Chain A
Amino acid sequence: EPEVTQTPSHQVTQMGQEVILRCVPISNHLYFYWYRQILGQKVEFLVSFYNNEISEKSEIFDDQFSVERPDGSNFTLKIRSTKLEDSAMYFCASSEASGAFFGQGTRLTVV
């Protein structure tokens, strides 16, 4: 069964460093998303991406965040100058009319 894959599964980074989280959405899906879940909190929408551009973004998705689809299969989330409060599980998802399907997540720890 097709699935969304994310790499790495864990990432530890120093505060102020840049990180890139990678995702391969389901191949025939057209809509892609990033979400995050801070430990013990709700899953929160960050950004949606369609037709090679951002379609919507939340208040959380400020200038330190960016997304890119560098080729036909990958979808990346870049966080510039990470902060301690960026520590969370980051989920990539892709969707079609049967629903939104999530990857296993990348646990980002900023130290």
Chain B
Amino acid sequence: SQQGEEDPQALSIQEGENATMNCSYKTSINNLQWYRQNSGRGLVHLILIRSNEREKHSGRLRVTLDTSKKSSSLLITASRAADTASYFCATPSTPFAGGTSYGKLTFGQGTILTVHP
């Protein structure tokens, strides 16, 4: 797989359930970011996790990072219909290049999450 590949490609759940999306990457990173994109709209930054962090929370979002397995997961708890969107992980294309390691990113294909009311 390529850098920053999400799994599954599509996920369909009922409102109130939890949604878990996974991301795998190939090369060493110093951070990993998750984004949401509603259909045809902009990329909303959800969370950044650094390579020395194992878990991070933001509201109903929980992100984990396992650098030994080169993988990350995004958990959305108590999902809502408004969470319906595509979710992407993004890894730095040049992880140790200073400032651009936070902005020059490689995106995966994304997970399409559908939350049914």
Contacts and interface: CB of A to CB of B under 8 A. Distances in A.
The yes or no verdict on A and B being binding partners is: yes
Interface of A: 30-33, 42-45, 48, 50, 55-56, 89, 91, 93-105, 107
Mostly helix, strand, loop or mixed at chain A's interface?
Answer: strand
A104 to B, nearest CB: 4
Given A42-B109, A102-B35, A33 B43 contact: no
Nearest to A96: B102
Contact of A31 (B43, B44, B102): B102
Nearest to B4: A42
Contacts of A93: 43, 103
A94 B105 CA distance: 12
Contacts of A32: 103
Interface residues of B, number: 25
B41 A56 contact: no
27 contacts: A30-B99, A31-B100, A31-B103, A33-B103, A42-B108, A43-B43, A43-B107, A44-B107, A45-B104, A48-B103, A48-B104, A55-B100, A56-B100, A93-B43, A93-B103, A94-B103, A95-B99, A97-B102, A99-B31, A99-B45, A99-B102, A100-B105, A102-B35, A104-B41, A104-B42, A105-B41, A105-B42
Interface in B12-48: 31, 33, 35, 40-45, 48
B106 A45 contact: yes
Contacts, number: 70
Interface string B94-117: 100001101111111110000000
Contacts of A44: 107
A64 B110 CA distance: 29
A-B pairs, top 3 by smallest CB distance, nearest first, are A95-B103, A104-B42, A102-B43
A100 B92 CA distance: 10
Contacts of B41: 104-105
